[in-house]
Amino acid sequence: MMNTFMKSIYSLGAVAALLTLSSCEPENPPAPADASKLTLRFEGVFGSKLLSFGNPDFVKADGETLIFDQFKLLFSNASLIREDGSRLKLGDGYAYADFKAGATSTPYFEVPIGSYKGISLTVGLDSATNHGDPAQWPADHPLSPLNNGMHWGWAGGYIFSMVDGNYIPKNSTQKSAFSFHMATMRYVRTIDLLFPFTKVPGNHSLVVRTDAEEYFKNPYAINFVKDGSFSHSTGAEVSLMDKLFTNMEDIFTNVTLE
């Protein structure tokens, strides 16, 4: 009986010691002092307003009211621009923004501490990737059709930019649909955003303001009634998509570090 009792005491003591040691260890150990991580976050706006969906809150300069249903972008070669002009790719360079779903942030990437001139984004993909097998990508990857819903199965390749919704002409109450799907190698664009910053230790976000209004102005003022409200980048619709593509040069209007 005595041996059994003593064994029980020793066992309880060992458990108590383990619990004491465990309680001294933090649940989330702090990151090393020299750790440096960075994420990209895309903020959707229409002019000075935050972008929302299903609401008639956005009016173009020509008086047409827009009601957004989708706004998505697919990126490759997402990189930081070093001070000497060379590029530091973030992860594998692919990223995806779905403003309606709120999927607008990349994972955190390890980034060397130091000074940078800005960031570079390619809207679209190179030909081999665009026409490759979409099933090769894990379900949570930016290029997985299960994740982004932007693979053009009927024509092959991906949609690089998707803007869909309805519009109400000026002095009217009648709603009509608009749909602009930018795709094919004709519509790949690399945009460099100059924003000098210094990356210090810790986790930070580069917030890229993305203005949907820019598709429809500067240099071409797009009026849906006159110019058309539909282009999927093929056939007779190419001339309209060319104008949107030219306008898109200014879609990223501001970058901030948080």
Other CB atoms within 10 Å distance of the CB of residue 1: 5
Question: Which pLDDT score is estimated for 228?
Answer: 96
**Residue 224's pLDDT band (cuts 50, 70, 90):** very high
Instruction: Give the mean model confidence (pLDDT) for residues 45-65.
Output: 97
CA distance 167 to 176: 5
CA distance 66 to 113: 43
In a domain, 134, yes or no: yes
Residue 256 has pLDDT above 60, yes or no: yes
Residue 10 lies in a domain: no
With a pLDDT cut of 90, the percent of the chain lying above it is: 83
CA neighbor of 116 nearest in space, from 35, 31, 36: 36
Q: List, in order, residues 6 or more apart from 231 with CB less than 8 Å away.
A: 179, 180, 181, 237, 238, 240, 241, 244
* Residue 33 banded pLDDT, cuts 50, 70, 90: low
In angstroms, the CA 150 to CA 140 distance is: 14
In a domain, 13, yes or no: no
* Any domain includes 11: no
Give one DSSP letter per residue of 113-140, joined into a string: SEEEEEEEEEES--HHHHTS-GGGS-TT
pLDDT in tens, 57-92: 999 999 999 999 999 999 999 999 999 999 999 999
- Section 175-203 average pLDDT: 96
> What are 151's strand-pairing partners?
158
Specify whether the CB–CB gap between 48 and 207 falls below 8 A.
no
Q: What is the pLDDT of residue 32?
A: 58
Q: Which of helix, strand or coil describes residue 61?
A: coil
* 33-48 mean pLDDT: 91
Of 14-28, 145-159, 202-216, give the range with the top mean pLDDT: 202-216
d(CA 175, CA 142): 33
Q: Which of 35-49, 67-81, 152-166 has the lowest mean pLDDT?
A: 152-166
Q: Could you report the per-residue pLDDT of 173-183, keeping only the tens digit for each?
A: 999 999 999 99
Q: Is residue 24 part of a domain?
A: no
Q: What is the mean pLDDT of the chain?
A: 89
Residue range(s) defining the domain that contains residue 115: 37-257
- The reported pTM is 0.85
| Structural domains in the chain (count) | 1
